[in-house]
Amino acid sequence: MRTRLVAGNWKMHGSRRANASLLDALLGGLAKRGAQPAGSACAVCVPYPYLEQMAARLAGSPIAWGAQNVSEHASGAFTGEVSAAMLAEFGCRYAIVGHSERRQLFGERDAQIAAKYAAAQASGLTPILCVGETLEAREAGLTEPVVAAQLDAVVATAGAASFARAVIAYEPVWAIGTGRTASAQQAQAVHAFLRARLAKQDAAVAQGVRILYGGSVKAANAAAIFAMPDVDGGLIGGASLVAEEFLAIIAAAQGQPAST
């Protein structure tokens, strides 16, 4: 049975004081709800400067932590880059790779993203591989070819078996931070396609890989999206910065009421 995961992506938000307040509220809310049901997990992926704060505050807690990016290089003259080994030293479990903002704003291409994925795994991190299409691609009927190419680039570099130690996140670009959300059925269709695509290479790995949905997920729509058979949780942007919203989304993934 696949483990559901709700991972927050803080993007370029936060301060030490605001982070502390948010983490206290999250940990308090989880403690009030009691032990997490088996088969569920939650995490926050934060800006690099706050990894030490996460390691200090979240160690031994139900919340894992990770980074929003990682270098494809192990070390060297790459000013401004952060290696997977550095992230692992801060106790990171996850590293997001291939987020649409990295692809669009910073020009990252499939080959570079595949290399980042491989570098993360080489240091023991679990990559969260983001794939997704633009509105133009969807309207042109190109959703499946686009996400297939993004997935295939990683399979070609790291192999299908590597997804036993990875997470996929389907994030339609047109639904990220726009207030628009793919319907539960639209999300399910792409998740099912991705799983079937991977199954052509390794059926067992495809059945076990977690595929998250990301794109304006909120407490109000989380339960319907997570009810889809191939949706295994969410990669949450803005709502992960609001404790009540994030806790409600975690509860939806766990099949619990939003509050107790």
DSSP assignment of 12-39 equals S---HHHHHHHHHHHHHHHHHH-SPPTT
110 found inside a domain: yes
Which pLDDT score, from 0 to 100, does residue 259 have?
46
pLDDT tens, 2-28? 999 999 999 999 999 999 999 999 999
End-to-end C-alpha distance for the chain, whole angstroms: 26
Q: Which tokens hold the place of 102?
A: 């990295």
Query: Domain count of the chain?
Result: 1
Give the span between the Cα atoms of 115 and 117, in whole angstroms: 5
In the chain, the amino acid numbered 85 is A
- Residue of 191, 190, 193, 201 whose CA lies nearest to 162: 201
At 140, the amino acid letter reads A
Catalytic residue annotation: 99, 171
User: What tokens were used for 75?
Assistant: 């070390």
Residue 259 lies in a domain: no
Q: What is the pLDDT of residue 260?
A: 35
Q: Is residue 260 part of a domain?
A: no
CB contact at 8 A, 232 and 195: no
CATH number at residue 232: 3.20.20.70
At 36 the pLDDT is 64
CA dist 198 and 172 (Å) reads: 19
Residue 104: inside a domain: yes
* pTM confidence score: 0.96
What range does the domain containing 215 cover? Answer: 4-32+40-254
The answer to the question of residue 95 being in a domain is yes
Per-residue pLDDT reduced to its tens digit, 203-212: 999 999 999 9
Q: What pLDDT is stored for residue 71 in this prediction?
A: 98
Of 119, 211, 124, whose CA–CA distance to 157 is shortest? 119
Three-state secondary structure call for residue 65:
strand
Helices 219-226 and 184-199 pack at an angle, to 10 degrees, of 40
Question: Could you say which residues of the chain have pLDDT below 50?
Answer: 259-260
Pairing type for strands 4-9 and 167-170 reads unpaired
